[in-house]
């Protein structure tokens, strides 16, 4: 199923027509700060800074701000394509001056001034379902960066070489650091015990951070009492509608997404789920599964409640794959809303049926968790 979704979104992105920024073989500007680590050729990977000709480029790599400040998918794509990727081939455990520069960039509190010289003129664009798009790329011939002032909390974690990476991620999240700051630091080997530090491909580091934080929240919320009603949380933006159904059951989770006539007349549905116990295999629908789970699990942990959760996502014509931040931030917004509350599952589903484009029976046919909950409640009535 993951291959099916991946191929579907690849076909979608192949039709996109956006123009990247034009730069020559030299670039003077700034990094937001941001570094991209590829996965091709692992354990040797291409790593390098994301750069812009703008001197202040923070918003270009700050997805936590985009839902509130950006009006359309196209606007996000257009400013992301202003970012140029420089790259250099590096072994994941290699320590050299270039890797040190990448860590300096990621640890920086603000945008970092850069002077870059490329082997050839940067070209191309990059789109992926899990990661934000960006503009042209090329191998670096030379890179100079200014001395950056470190973010104090990231700096503390960096110099603590006895602190496990998992503990660093959770501590920084508890202190209110942005997810994007934590994820980028993880990708360049800022966290962990000294001998265990290594570069982590950006795509993997996003899922690792989502999974680490949500796993910890789920461990906690399993000790809390159940919610006492059926709740529906909603939010819509950027050609997406999200609806989260929370049920008074022990923790279980499912993410269902429907792409509705995004390419033509097609309706494509993808889903995956977990029971009360931790999911062992990687989710078949990719990183969005963990991004949505993080938003729901953290909200329940804050409330000190437990629930089962089924998330419904519809994407409409004009939708563009922008990365799993889109799911994470939309779901965080949804969980901040005042929910609609219902005394029964049927009442909650009837309400959701009035808001979703696809009829309820399509979702019920796709959902494993709702089938199980309905069956359990039917059996309980006989008891």
List, for residues 277-311, the tens digit of each pLDDT value: 989 999 999 999 999 999 999 999 999 999 999 99
Question: Is pLDDT at 376 greater than 90 in this prediction?
Answer: no
Q: Edge-to-edge strand order for the sheet containing 267-274?
A: 267-274, 253-260, 308-315, 240-247, 230-237, 340-342
pLDDT number for residue 1: 42
According to DSSP, residue 134 is labeled: B
| Of 152, 160, 168, 148, the residue nearest 35 (C-alpha) | 148
Question: Is pLDDT at 383 greater than 70 in this prediction?
Answer: no
Tokens of 264: 């033509």
pLDDT number for residue 377: 64
According to DSSP, residue 284 is labeled: T
List, for residues 69-105, the tens digit of each pLDDT value: 998 999 999 999 999 999 999 999 999 999 999 999 9
List, for residues 107-141, the tens digit of each pLDDT value: 999 999 999 999 999 999 999 989 999 999 999 99
pLDDT over 90 for what percent of the chain? 93
3-state secondary structure (DSSP) of residue 232: strand
pLDDT number for residue 378: 56
CA 162: distance to chain centroid? 28
Tokens of 155: 């700096």
Using CA atoms, how far residue 58 sits from 115, 154, 377, in Å, is 17, 17, 50
List, for residues 137-175, the tens digit of each pLDDT value: 999 999 999 999 999 999 999 999 999 999 999 999 999
pLDDT number for residue 180: 98
Secondary structure (DSSP) of 329-381:
HHHHHHHHSPPEEESSHHHHHHHHHHH-SS-HHHHHHH-HHHHHHHHHHHHHH
Tokens of 106: 């990621």
Question: Is pLDDT at 44 greater than 80 in this prediction?
Answer: yes
d(Cα 282, Cα 272) in Å, to the nearest integer? 10
Question: Is pLDDT at 2 greater than 60 in this prediction?
Answer: no
Query: How confident is the model over 235-244, as a mean pLDDT?
Result: 98
**Cβ-contact 12, 263 below 8 angstroms:** yes
pLDDT band at 6 (very low <50, low <70, confident <90, very high): confident
Query: How confident is the model over 202-227, as a mean pLDDT?
Result: 98
Average pLDDT, the chain: 95
Residue partners of 110: CB distance under 8 A and separation at least 6: 33, 58, 148, 149
pLDDT number for residue 379: 47
Query: How confident is the model over 339-366, as a mean pLDDT?
Result: 97
Q: Dihedral, CA atoms, 133, 237, 170, 109, nearest 10 degrees? A: 60
């Amino acid at each position: 199923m993951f291959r099916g979704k991946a191929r579907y979104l690849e076909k979608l992105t192949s039709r996109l027509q956006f123009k990247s920024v034009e730069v020559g073989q030299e670039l003077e500007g700034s990094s937001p700060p941001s570094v991209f680590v590829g996965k091709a050729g692992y354990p040797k990977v291409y790593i390098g800074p994301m750069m812009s000709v703008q001197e202040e480029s923070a918003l270009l790599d700050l997805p936590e701000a985009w839902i509130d400040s950006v009006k359309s998918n196209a606007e996000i794509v257009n400013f992301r394509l202003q970012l140029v990727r420089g790259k250099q081939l590096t072994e994941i455990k290699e320590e050299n001056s270039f890797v040190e520069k990448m860590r300096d960039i990621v640890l920086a509190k603000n945008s970092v001034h850069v002077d870059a010289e490329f082997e050839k003129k940067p070209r191309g664009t990059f789109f992926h379902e899990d990661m934000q798009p960006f503009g042209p790329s090329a191998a670096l011939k030379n890179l100079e960066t200014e001395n950056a002032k470190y973010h104090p909390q990231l700096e503390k974690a960096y110099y603590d070489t006895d602190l496990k990476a998992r503990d660093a991620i959770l501590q920084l999240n508890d202190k209110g650091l942005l997810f994007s700051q934590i994820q980028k630091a993880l990708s360049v080997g800022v966290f962990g015990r000294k001998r265990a530090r290594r570069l982590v491909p950006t795509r993997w580091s996003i899922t690792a951070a989502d999974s680490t934080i949500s796993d910890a929240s789920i461990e906690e919320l399993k000790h809390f009492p159940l919610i006492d009603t059926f709740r529906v949380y909603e939010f819509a933006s950027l050609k997406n509608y999200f609806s989260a159904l929370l049920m008074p059951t022990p923790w279980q989770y499912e993410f269902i997404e429907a792409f509705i006539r995004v390419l033509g007349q097609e309706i494509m549905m993808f889903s995956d789920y977990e029971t009360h116990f931790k999911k062992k295999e990687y989710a078949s629908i990719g990183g969005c599964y963990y991004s949505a789970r993080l938003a729901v699990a953290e909200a329940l942990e804050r409330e000190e409640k437990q629930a089962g959760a089924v998330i419904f996502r519809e994407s409409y014509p004009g939708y563009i794959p922008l990365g799993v931040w889109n799911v994470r931030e939309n779901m965080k917004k949804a969980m901040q809303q005042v929910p609609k509350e219902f005394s029964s599952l049927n009442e909650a589903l009837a309400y959701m049926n009035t808001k979703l484009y696809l009829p309820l029976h399509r979702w019920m046919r796709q959902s494993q968790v709702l089938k199980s909950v309905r069956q359990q409640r039917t059996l309980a009535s006989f008891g």
